[in-house]
Amino acid sequence: MNERAIWDFLYGKIKNPIGTAAVMGNLMAESSLNPICATGKNKTPNYVADADSGAIDFTRDGVAFGLVQWCYYARKGGLLDYAKKTGTSVGDMNTQLEYMWKELQGYKTVLNAVVNATNIRAASDIVMLRYERPATTTEAAKAKRAAYGKNFYDQFWKPKAEETKTETGKKTVKAKTVVNLRAGRGTGTAKIGELKRGQQLELLETDKGWHKVACWVCGDFVEVSK
């Protein structure tokens, strides 16, 4: 499904589940995560094929297209050029994701917001207002995008103690007290949840006093099984 593939791509780039959720919520609001979504009076019946072949003026036809609903001529032109360079279609989902990530490098405020996000709504608003820039920016529209993001966060990331199972022989970490789960090593990284005292998670990696489970937890506050 597109949802899982898009989450995996974005999280692989952003490395922060909160920021990932904020971006996904905006994409959901824009296109329902459909890479061939096209809206506008100049849309043709075979829009993607026509764009790829050059049968239409893809960059200046005023049609909003793709996951992001690109519409401005320079941004659509960038997508078209990227697809041609990579030998793919403008409607290819991976092409759009790669182009979006490339494009985001020029939106430093947005990029910083999602990489360092600690609140889905706050990050979602920045993505909406600074990157997507839709015509409707009401409170209801902002809340809707953030709610979509929260749903994706709960679906793909939120730790659930009842689902935490480990294979026989695998090491686990057990919380000695309530301990924060973080997006990376160090107390300066985003808090994304917490372990309750006695809760266990499978140990994936240890580095410089920090243990990676679903995310990272400080070794001072957990016990590692033998």
Instruction: Say yes or no to pLDDT of 163 above 60.
Output: no
- Supply the pLDDT for residue 210: 82
Task: Reply yes or no on domain 162-224 having CATH 2.30.30.40.
Answer: yes
Instruction: Say yes or no to pLDDT of 136 above 70.
Output: yes
Instruction: Say yes or no to pLDDT of 162 above 60.
Output: no
- Supply the pLDDT for residue 224: 74
Tens-place pLDDT, residues 102-119: 999 999 999 999 999 999
Domain limits, CATH 2.30.30.40, in the chain:
162-224
Query: SS3 for 18?
Result: helix
Instruction: Say yes or no to pLDDT of 141 above 80.
Output: yes
- Mean pLDDT of the region 179-198: 79
How far apart CA 12 and CA 7 sit, in angstroms, is 8
Please answer whether residues 121 and 18 qualify as being in contact, where contact means their C-beta atoms are separated by less than 8 angstroms.
no
- Supply the pLDDT for residue 160: 42
* Of 50-59, 128-137, 199-208, minimum mean pLDDT range: 199-208
Sorted by sequence, the CB contacts under 8 Å of residue 181 that are 6+ apart come out as 159, 191, 192, 193, 194, 195, 213, 214, 215, 216, 217
Of 25, 82, 30, nearest to 51 by C-alpha is 82
* Of 1-10, 30-39, 165-174, minimum mean pLDDT range: 165-174
Average pLDDT of the residues of the chain? 89
- Mean pLDDT of the region 26-50: 97
Q: Kindly indicate the confidence band of residue 183, based on its pLDDT and cuts at 50, 70 and 90.
A: confident
- Supply the pLDDT for residue 168: 47
Instruction: Say yes or no to pLDDT of 130 above 60.
Output: yes
Domain limits, CATH 1.10.530.10, in the chain:
2-156
**Cα separation values, 183 from 134, 139, 188, 205, Å:** 30, 29, 10, 14
Higher-confidence residue: 198 or 101? 101
- Supply the pLDDT for residue 14: 96
Instruction: Report the percentage of the chain scoring pLDDT > 90.
Output: 68
Give CATH for domain 2-156.
1.10.530.10
- Supply the pLDDT for residue 73: 97
The pTM for the full model equals: 0.72
How far apart CA 116 and CA 112 sit, in angstroms, is 6
